Chains A and B, each alone.
Chain A
Amino acid sequence: MESGCHPLNPITITAQGLSKNFNRRAIFKDVSFTLSSPASLSITGKNGAGKSTLSKIIAGLISSTRGSLTYSIDGNQTGIEEFKHHIGFVSPYLNLYDEFTALENLQILSRIRTASRQQNERIKELLTLVGLWDRRDDFVGTFSSGMKQRLKYAFALLHNPEVLILDEPTSNLDADGIEVIKKIILEQKKRNILVIATNDKEEATWCTQQTPIGAKQHPGI
């Protein structure tokens, strides 16, 4: 697998005092960390601790209630809309389009993201990597949950992201799928930034830093 396309551009993500409330309930508070490539961080905690929420905040999909999150490339601070082009995200809450085939999904999303048609080789490479090249013309609606999870990895890696955020990285995957994901993770954390949100102890050990979040650490409002 190819590594990031800008391995020489150091990327830094700095979180300071991140907190998230849903209505009046505090999900987590005062989460701080700094990640400079190469780096890997696992977010751990019990069910409902806010692991998925924190991973969405890091990916710029939702905002935090308090605290700040800054992204910089080569020492230059960047806004989240610009930085999103450097993020790959896999999550159980993220779905691809059932009415399109695996190939169409990647082509369409790649075209929206990069406004470029020159992605066919990369798409073939990734669909082969995740073992879906033979099923490329099947509608995603007919895929099993494990196949959909594999396709999400192909989507996340399509633009060679320097930051890969994985929420429950091995959910629904069989043994072969997990091996493929381990290779992807190993390659990613060598040069780039990897963030894993998990409650699986083994998956948490794949990262060098750990941030436990949840009620025990943050006892209420």
Chain B
Amino acid sequence: MNVMVSIWAVVSKDIRSELRTRYALNALLMFVVTSVATILFALREDEVSTDVLSGMFWVVIFFSAMSGLSRIFVSEEERGTAMTLQLVASPSEVYFGKLIFNCGLTLVLSSAVTVLYLVVFPAFIIKSAVVFLMTILLGSLGFASSATIIAAIIAKANTKGTLYPVLSFPILIPLLMTVMKSTTRALDGDSVTAALSDFQILVSYVMIMIAGSSLLFDYVWKD
């Protein structure tokens, strides 16, 4: 019970800190707006397939997430507060607190991109809402689970900025391929049954990433 309270205290600290500093939120939202605007200008009146639309949808989320999610650990290292956090919380409390915060942030990001796409791309019509919501939920969890551990690793490195997308891309390839396919299904109006295999892959991905990360985090966090 105490562990859960401590985890929630870490999440609560990060939310309050983010609302005051806007370290990650500003970076994420600016990236979303500029990249969606660029795609809009490039496509103009062109008719694009659901494959292309879903691909671009996740490209925006991928690069936006890369620009914002690493802040969760980098800001602690840069400001010298990582040591303070080490003193008051166990590694697992820190990891799960940061993971929950990143999940929330990715869900906000995915929702913002969805709203923008619905407004600016007439061809972006969600025909299967359940499939789309499941994809967004599991995709965000997948992004957050891998982004959190990679952020913890790169926070200890000297070349933080460039290392993050380089390390993330190979780890996120299976996730990106699956969520793009599943989003296409949602836009094409496929049933939940048809998308079930995609969801199984996503759930497995999230479970493997969280289990592996929670085991690895102790070593990453301490030295």
Q: Which residues of A contact B (CB under 8 A)?
A: 56, 59, 61-63, 81, 84, 87, 89, 91, 93-100, 104, 108-109, 111-113, 115, 155
Contact = CB atoms under 8 A, between A and B. Distances in A.
Contacts of A99: 17, 20-21
B9 A63 contact: no
B44 interface: no
Nearest to A152: B84
Given A62-B223, A93-B80, A113 B17 contact: no
B202 to A, nearest CB: 31
A61 B88 contact: no
Interface string B8-20: 0110110011001
Contacts of B84: 94-97, 109, 155
Contacts of A104: 16
A84 B87 contact: yes
Contacts of A100: 16-17, 20
Interface in B104-139: none
B16 A113 contact: no
| B interface SS class | helix
A63 B222 contact: yes
11 contacts: A61-B83, A93-B83, A94-B87, A100-B20, A112-B6, A112-B10, A112-B93, A113-B87, A113-B88, A115-B9, A155-B84
Question: Which of A93, A95, A100, A104 gathers most chain B CB within 10 Å?
Answer: A95
A210 to B, nearest CB: 25
B191 to A, nearest CB: 45
Contact of B9 (A84, A95, A96, A112): A112
Contacts of A84: 87, 90
Contact of B80 (A62, A94, A111): A94
A94 B93 contact: no
A115 B81 contact: no
Given A81-B91, A97-B81, 10 more contacts: A61-B86, A93-B83, A95-B79, A100-B20, A104-B16, A111-B12, A112-B89, A113-B89, A115-B6, A155-B84
A136 B214 CA distance: 36
A53 to B, nearest CB: 12
Nearest to B91: A81
B5 interface: yes
A112 B88 contact: yes
Contacts of B85: 112
A186 B2 CA distance: 33
B223 A63 contact: yes
Nearest to B23: A99
Contacts of A97: 13, 17, 79, 81, 84
The 8 residue pairs across chains A and B that have the minimum distance between CB atoms: A95-B80, A115-B5, A113-B88, A115-B2, A112-B9, A99-B20, A111-B9, A112-B88
A175 B12 CA distance: 38
B23 to A, nearest CB: 9
A109 B20 contact: no
Nearest to B19: A99
A97 B22 CA distance: 14
Contacts of B86: 61
Nearest to A89: B87
